[in-house]
């Protein structure tokens, strides 16, 4: 499991923008309430 996430992170670190999207998605997954207040921004 840790190998998979480590691989994913190493791939994402090649592209900072993708890494940022991934981290945001991860945070929103853990804190669904954040996505509610941010919904109008995300839909663009």
Which tens digit of pLDDT belongs to each residue from 22-40? 888 888 888 877 655 555 5
Domain that residue 29 falls in: 2-42
Residues in Cβ contact with 18 at an 8 Å cutoff, skipping those fewer than 6 apart: 12
Whether residue 12 has pLDDT greater than 70: no
The greatest distance separating any two alpha carbons of the chain, rounded to the nearest whole angstrom, comes to: 35
Q: How far apart are CA 29 and CA 5, in angstroms?
A: 16
Whether residue 13 has pLDDT greater than 70: no
Domain tally, the chain: 1
In this prediction, residues 6-33 reach a mean pLDDT of 79
Binned at pLDDT 50, 70 and 90, residue 2 comes out as: low
């Amino acid at each position: 499991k840790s190998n998979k996430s480590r691989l994913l992170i190493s791939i994402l670190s090649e592209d900072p923008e993708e890494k940022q999207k991934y981290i945001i998605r991860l945070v929103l997954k853990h804190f669904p309430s954040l996505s509610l207040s941010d919904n109008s921004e995300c839909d663009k």
